Amino acid sequence: MKKTWLLGFGFFSISITWALYNAFVPFFLDNFLKSTALIGFMMTIDNYFALFLQPWIGSRSDRTNSRFGKRMPYLLIGMPLAALFGALIPWHISLLTLVLFMVLMNLSMSLYRSPAVALMPDITPDSKRTQANGIINFMGGIGSIIAFAGGSFLYVKHASLPFLTASVLTLVCLVILFVTIKEKRDSMGYNVTEEKTKISFKGQLTRPTIFLLGAIFFWFLSYQGVEAFFTLYGKNHLQLTEGQSSFSLAFFSLAFVLAAIPSGLLGNRFGKKLIITLGVIGLVVIFAAISFVDALLPLRALLLAGGICWAMININSYPFIVSLGKEQSIGTRTGIYYLISSLAAIASPPLMGSLIDLFGYSVLFYFSSGGMVIALLFLLGVKDKGLARSADEAAATTSL
């Protein structure tokens, strides 16, 4: 588990970068664009790269064999480039330069996200992956808290400071990963998939996988809409300041962090499907309730509860999708996971932005609650013999 904690620094850097990007880039775009739908479309740039590039890179990393391993070469290229272009975003001088820096940063992050995620199951036995996912997402949640809380403080000082800080932390995290994680030493049997035995996406689409991917699509459709527009929702619907809006998201992230490791343990003990189902039901209720809230205190209380439910879903979903395939397909299935979540992230902000333009910001959480209901229906259709782990296997798993 020591290696898992160290691997968490990769997720820490990804989370802090995305949290700042989603919190503050809409404000930059709002200076140039008056259509909320168009702002939502611009916020999906990263997902177009994820849609086409990340599945290919995830599959390609299964077949990469370098002196640094299968996944590390992609981190060594992508992370420095992402740090550079991320730091440049607040220094835009026009809409064109803003979009250029956004595109280059998102392209750079697409080079290493799938390989970074695939490192976790590479170095972790199957029985520990939900726990390990809890640990690395705990680290990622710490990054989000720092981004929303510290970022809002730095943003007031100067708009460039949050992005510069995130870039420096990204480089520090890369050094930590490069020094401490040696794939050929730490992987659970270092195997490189041969080109002639390339694993196709089609071969991975079993019935349980398809239903699970449907659930993943709709819960990300809901979540991404909230993430993309919450700061504008707080500013324009609840009349909060920009700092109050971004800081409120820290409550969601705080709860996610606190619930990350327990969610992994619960998923390992009672089954991933059950814990995910409870989380989805919880968010159906919480998102619906937020629609009726117009005060800061109850809003933040509901965001705390929502963070717990999101941890129950998010911590268990990636190990769940990996567990439905073979060990040789980890990178490929990671790419499929990001393909579906990216499709949702592409569809959600423009769709939500259009609905907001038509009906106002009050529609945000009604839409998100409805998406979670559809996700629940797909999840209930997932049937797999591997879901019912024996009591002996669960008891034999070493707890953290």
> In which residue are the tokens 């390609």 written?
60
Band (pLDDT 50/70/90 cuts) for residue 228 is confident
Read off the CATH number of the domain in which 123 is found: 1.20.1250.20
8 A C-beta contact, residue 286 and residue 305: yes
3-state secondary structure of 114: helix
Which structural domain range is residue 8 located in? 2-189+198-396
pLDDT for 284 equals 95
Rounded distance between C-alpha atoms, residue 133 and residue 125, angstroms: 12
Domain count, the chain: 1
Range from 42-46, 172-176, 281-285 carrying the lowest mean pLDDT:
42-46
Per-residue pLDDT of 196-217, as tens digits, reads 445 455 556 778 788 999 999 9
Q: Which of 69, 247, 93, 228 is nearest to 160 (CA)?
A: 93
Rounded distance between C-alpha atoms, residue 254 and residue 184, angstroms: 35
pLDDT for 393 equals 38
Per-residue pLDDT of 68-120, as tens digits, reads 888 889 999 999 999 999 999 999 999 999 999 999 998 898 888 878 877 88
For residue 294, CA distances in Å to 174, 239, 258, 298, 375 come to 42, 9, 26, 8, 27
Per-residue pLDDT of 4-16, as tens digits, reads 888 888 888 888 8
Give the CA angle between residues 162, 164, 167 to the nearest 5°.
110
Contacts (Cβ under 8 Å, ≥6 apart) of 46: 21, 106, 109, 110, 345
Per-residue pLDDT of 127-184, as tens digits, reads 777 788 788 878 887 887 788 778 878 888 898 999 999 999 999 999 998 888 887 7
In one letter, which amino acid is 391? A
pLDDT for 185 equals 74
pLDDT for 396 equals 38
3-state secondary structure of 265: helix
8 A C-beta contact, residue 38 and residue 353: yes
- Letter string b/e over residues 37-68, b meaning 16 or more CB atoms within 10 A of that residue's CB: bbbbbbbbbbbbbbbebbbebbbbbbbbeeeb
For residue 5, CA distances in Å to 2, 129, 173, 214 come to 5, 13, 12, 31
